[in-house]
Chains A and B, each alone.
Chain A
Amino acid sequence: MGVIQYVAKRVGLYLAVLFIGVTITFFLPRLLPTNPIDAYIGQIQSRANGVLSADAIAQLRQNLEELYGLKGNLFSQYVGYLNRVIFHLDFGPSFTYYPTPVSGMILNALPWTLGLLLVSTVIAWVLGNLVGVVAGYFHTRRAATVLEVVGILLYPIPYYILAVSVILLLAYVIPIFPLSPTFPVGDLSLQMVGSIIYNSTLPALTLVLAGFGWNILSMKALAVATTEEPYVTFARLKGTSNWTRMVRYVFRNAMLPQVTALALSLGTVFNGALLTEILFSYPGVGLIMRTAASSGDYNVLYGAITLSILAVATAGLVIDLIYPLLDPRIRHR
């Protein structure tokens, strides 16, 4: 298969995935047993001292259908949605917080989500893989077992327990970090950046610890298997050093599935980290999606899920496109 054919096939698949994903995203929230207009009217009624007549509610319902873009049959709404999303990347206003635009809500939250999750995912991946390859390459030695134990201990701890333990230790018993962050407002400055890093350290630390264990265990397993490969044995017989064999022969080859996992992990960071956001009062996409799902705020769900689909699909495409560069076997196929 030629390069152009390969790329065209991957891009075609990518676009198909996006279209199917966007379509499913449109219909899925409508299967929820939640009606955003009922939810909003319920709020209004609870504050209306019972003065709203049936006619007034009917009029309000009609106005909201108009404002929310829920008028017309499902097909016409779907066509309108595709037009807005594909050609204008416009998700309309939030139903619950009308007239706040969805794009504004997501764009406000996204830098926080990306800042926290990208950094913590990459740190956990790098540290985990480094420790994992050492533990795997020297798996017959006792010191390597100790490293593996770190992974075995950390990996199964439920994130909630891990996070609360870290909070207790570093924000209460030894109060180095704040229990709940207070991010400063105003123009960006060095002091502000420092404050953001300080306030984000604790949630980032828990995410690193949570991701770290899995990376150690998976890389260790891959490294052990790779160490037994004939080309590693051949390299040892050639007289190469341990360092060379571990880094150039074992690590490079064992890393390939880990790169795929990293790329997919990076794609999913757009979903946010709900539990982290709740426990640490951290701003992010996760909380927005949670609120939108519970109140039937379709537009916010469309925005957040579409972004996530776009990110995961793009990560998959990038992996597909760069894999031949990392793995010569694919180039030869």
Chain B
Amino acid sequence: MARLTAYLLAPVLGALMGTMAFAQTMTDVGTPRNETLVVQTFDGKAANPDQQNPLNAYAIWRGFRELGWSFLWEMDTATGNSYPELAAGPVEVLNPEHTKFRVKLRQGVYWSDGVEFTADDVVYTLDTAFKYKDKLTFVSTYVNYVKSWKQVDKYTVDIETINPAYDFQTVMGVYSWGSLFVPVPKHIFEKAADVTTFKNPNPVTLGPYTVKAYDPNGFWQLWQLRDDWQRSGWGNLGKPGPKYVLYKDFGAEETRTLAFVQNQYDEDTFMSPDSIQAAQAKNPAIQTFSPKMPFNDMNDACSYGVYINQQKAPFDKPEVRWALALSLDLQTVGITAVNGQFKAAALPISDTPITNPSFYKPLLPFLKELKLADGYQPFNDKFADDLVNKLKDQGVDAASLPTGDDVAKGYGEGWWKFDPAEAEKLLGSVGIKKGGDGFYTLPDGSPWTIELVIPSDWNKVMQRVGFSIADSWKKAGFNVTARQADNGEFNTVQNTNSKFSIMVNWSNTCVYNANFLNSWRTFNKDNVKDVNSNDPLNGNYLRETDPAVFALVADATKRETTSPEFLADGQKIATALVTGMAEINLMNIPTTIPTNSYYWTNYPKADNFYAAPYTWWSSFKKTIVNIKPTGKQ
């Protein structure tokens, strides 16, 4: 009887196992999971998912820049070099003043509906942007950059800029995350009744993907590879790996972590180190950006820093700003706020493999030799080694910590000494002394209270860093309170002298390659207002007032951004900002970007850095053509 049962059950079990072996997992949107790359959205839920017109504010975080649009020039985020995408080559400069340019387009590029992309589309986009510049909200950059344009032939456009321009490719193309100049299809847009309110749903695209479906509630968007991807805007980059790409919000970090463990998606954005660790314990396919500490990615163009209103007493004195820097225990701040996973950066820019050879390495002797007015040398070039030792002392597994040259690569070239005694001396030199309660008082003897503005939970990393800084300063004798601001108020504080004293910020320290003008161009006298002014500033959030810095910026705008003279200007600006401690730069922005290698492998990593790992930058296209399926069903 038992044998008979076995005979009867064998084929049934065999069939079941066979079915299981070949059963294909499907995504929630009905695509085969092993053909679909699933990424967490950068912004959670989109409030305007059906707004897909790039001339207006649109659902920008749903993969458009990465998969749907194509730009004249793209940025190779692994090297910091611009390369042609829709353009046939580098821009041609037509006059010695650097105001006239010729853009030649690549031939054989087609929109997703089969119409050829030509100069007509570029000219139409410029015509429309200028015609409706009062109503279109996403064209302000290039309508204030371009003066005139003329179509030369089917594939050539001449463009004149308002001012001499040496950054044409990175303004009309991509500098870091994408370009604001997005060519739109003339044959579609010219039929719209009102282009200023046209939503452009399921757009005709130049990129190799088209929108297959999107959630009208804004939680997900599905892209499908074009059959003719080879003749798309970046089809020449190689064959995209996934047939489908799904951008989806997996919710709060708690549910995201669980979904990650269940292999429901492949790439995250900012997951906290604690959640990553918990997920890794359950699923070995989950990987951090770097195999060793600091595990986080540190390649963002921007850096976190404490921005100080240099015009406002008592912060107008360099001694005070230096005292704040020397009272900040960055090692403890970094360990408390980001689990010791940060890269210290003393110059007012990120220290990345791209900026390091241009700024950090050449300026290291300056930092080491820097002396304050009293002869004190504030730089600690052993900061990274000290930090590694501190982490070891705190029980971090030594095998997970970097050694040798990797220490500086991971934790930076150094930072300021933590020396509250020197800070007290500096403050004493300008009449600021500690009162009976242990807190510093102003020169007139009145209490000195400091309100440090920090982001609320819209930027959790900065929020934690901000609280930790306030704690560090409080212990050093500064009566500080950290006040959280929503992102709208944060901008208002940043822009308004009367409301701004000191805040944690990143927006004026964003330099991706040697072209520092991207962030520092706004250091000019037009962006200096009275200390009590309620008028908004248009940049220069560091409140730099040094005419020498303004002169260097003005000089740099007249130079090739790749020339040694241009770089020398940038280095001089950096040294001036550091000498006056215009900003207490803290660290590169640590982004965690964990990945799941269950269905896909070969993501950009610290030891495989073929592109910045961000799924919300246009350079994600490099990931798309480099990732490989694992073959798992």
Chain B residues contacting A109 (CB-CB under 8 Å) are 217
Nearest chain-A residue to B50 (Cβ)?
A100
Interface-lining segment among A54-62, A83-91, A264-272: A54-62
B495 CB-CB contact with A under 8 Å = yes
A48 CB-CB contact with B under 8 Å = yes
Contact of A283 with B45 in the complex, beta carbons under 8 Å? yes
Least CB distance, A69 to chain B, in whole angstroms: 14
B487 CB-CB contact with A under 8 Å = yes
Chain B residues contacting A295 (CB-CB under 8 Å) are 486-488
Contact of B48 with A182 in the complex, beta carbons under 8 Å? no
Chain A residues contacting B141 (CB-CB under 8 Å) are 44, 47-49, 51-52
A226 CB-CB contact with B under 8 Å = no
The 4 closest A-B pairs by CB, nearest first: A34-B488, A42-B491, A182-B28, A283-B217
Interface-lining segment among A73-81, A115-123, A273-281: A273-281
Chain A residues contacting B251 (CB-CB under 8 Å) are 179-180, 278-281
Contact of B171 with A42 in the complex, beta carbons under 8 Å? no
Interface-lining segment among A2-10, A164-172, A207-215: A164-172
CB within 8 Å of B: which of A20-67? 32-36, 38-42, 44-54, 56-58, 60-61, 63-64, 66-67
A299 CB-CB contact with B under 8 Å = no
Identify which of B175, B264, B518 contacts A179 (C-beta below 8 A): B264
Contact of B538 with A281 in the complex, beta carbons under 8 Å? no
Nearest chain-A residue to B143 (Cβ)?
A56
Chain B residues contacting A181 (CB-CB under 8 Å) are 219
Contact of B255 with A281 in the complex, beta carbons under 8 Å? yes
Identify which of A45, A178, A183 contacts B217 (C-beta below 8 A): A183
A287 CB-CB contact with B under 8 Å = yes
13 contacts between A and B (CB under 8 A): A35-B491, A42-B494, A44-B137, A44-B141, A45-B507, A49-B517, A50-B539, A60-B140, A63-B134, A99-B196, A183-B215, A281-B219, A294-B486
CB within 8 Å of B: which of A77-113? 94, 96-100, 105, 108-109, 112
CB within 8 Å of A: which of B39-64? 45, 47-48, 51, 56-57
Chain B contact-residue range equals 35 or more
Contact of A97 with B51 in the complex, beta carbons under 8 Å? yes
Contact of A50 with B250 in the complex, beta carbons under 8 Å? no
Task: Please indicate which of the listed interface residues A98, A109, A280 has the most CB atoms of chain B within 10 Å of its own CB.
Answer: A98
Nearest chain-A residue to B174 (Cβ)?
A49
Contact of B254 with A164 in the complex, beta carbons under 8 Å? yes
Contact of A180 with B487 in the complex, beta carbons under 8 Å? no
Q: How far is the CA of A99 from the CA of B136 in the complex (A)?
A: 9
B15 CB-CB contact with A under 8 Å = no
A185 CB-CB contact with B under 8 Å = yes
Least CB distance, A209 to chain B, in whole angstroms: 17
Contact of B488 with A56 in the complex, beta carbons under 8 Å? no
B76 CB-CB contact with A under 8 Å = no
Chain A residues contacting B133 (CB-CB under 8 Å) are 63
Chain B residues contacting A100 (CB-CB under 8 Å) are 47-48, 51
Contact of A33 with B489 in the complex, beta carbons under 8 Å? yes
Task: Please indicate which of the listed interface residues B175, B180, B489, B518 has the most CB atoms of chain A within 10 Å of its own CB.
Answer: B489
Contact of B47 with A182 in the complex, beta carbons under 8 Å? no
Q: How far is the CA of A108 from the CA of B171 in the complex (A)?
A: 36
Contact of A180 with B259 in the complex, beta carbons under 8 Å? yes
A293 CB-CB contact with B under 8 Å = yes
Q: Is the interface of B mostly helix, strand, loop or mixed?
A: loop
B66 CB-CB contact with A under 8 Å = no
A222 CB-CB contact with B under 8 Å = no
Chain B residues contacting A171 (CB-CB under 8 Å) are 255, 258
Identify which of B177, B214, B261, B492 contacts A38 (C-beta below 8 A): B492
Least CB distance, B468 to chain A, in whole angstroms: 23
Q: How many residues of A contact B (CB 8 A)?
A: 65
Contact of A38 with B507 in the complex, beta carbons under 8 Å? no
Chain A residues contacting B175 (CB-CB under 8 Å) are 49
Least CB distance, B294 to chain A, in whole angstroms: 25
Identify which of B134, B171, B196, B255 contacts A66 (C-beta below 8 A): B134
Task: Please indicate which of the listed interface residues B196, B493, B539 has the most CB atoms of chain A within 10 Å of its own CB.
Answer: B539
B520 CB-CB contact with A under 8 Å = yes
Known: A34-B488, A172-B258, A279-B251. 15 other contacts (CB 8 A): A33-B485, A39-B491, A40-B137, A42-B495, A46-B510, A47-B141, A47-B178, A61-B536, A94-B47, A94-B48, A97-B57, A99-B196, A171-B258, A180-B249, A185-B214
Contact A294-B488, Cβ < 8 Å, known A48-B141, A51-B145, A97-B57 = yes
B29 CB-CB contact with A under 8 Å = yes
B526 CB-CB contact with A under 8 Å = yes
Nearest chain-A residue to B527 (Cβ)?
A54
A296 CB-CB contact with B under 8 Å = yes
Chain B residues contacting A296 (CB-CB under 8 Å) are 488-489
Nearest chain-A residue to B133 (Cβ)?
A63
CB within 8 Å of A: which of B514-570? 517-522, 526-527, 536, 538-539
Q: How far is the CA of A293 from the CA of B458 in the complex (A)?
A: 12
Nearest chain-B residue to A37 (Cβ)?
B536
Q: How far is the CA of A295 from the CA of B135 in the complex (A)?
A: 20
Contact A294-B491, Cβ < 8 Å, known A51-B144, A283-B219 = no
**1/0 per residue A227-253: CB within 8 Å of B?**
000000000000000000000000000
Contact of A185 with B216 in the complex, beta carbons under 8 Å? yes
Q: How far is the CA of A185 from the CA of B222 in the complex (A)?
A: 11
Nearest chain-A residue to B553 (Cβ)?
A50
Least CB distance, B165 to chain A, in whole angstroms: 9
A288 CB-CB contact with B under 8 Å = yes
Q: How far is the CA of A61 from the CA of B491 in the complex (A)?
A: 14
Chain A residues contacting B234 (CB-CB under 8 Å) are none
Least CB distance, B629 to chain A, in whole angstroms: 22
B218 CB-CB contact with A under 8 Å = yes
Chain A residues contacting B171 (CB-CB under 8 Å) are 49, 51
Q: How far is the CA of A183 from the CA of B216 in the complex (A)?
A: 9
Contact of B180 with A47 in the complex, beta carbons under 8 Å? yes
Contact of A180 with B197 in the complex, beta carbons under 8 Å? no
B17 CB-CB contact with A under 8 Å = no
CB within 8 Å of B: which of A156-201? 164, 167-168, 171-172, 175, 178-183, 185
Nearest chain-B residue to A278 (Cβ)?
B252
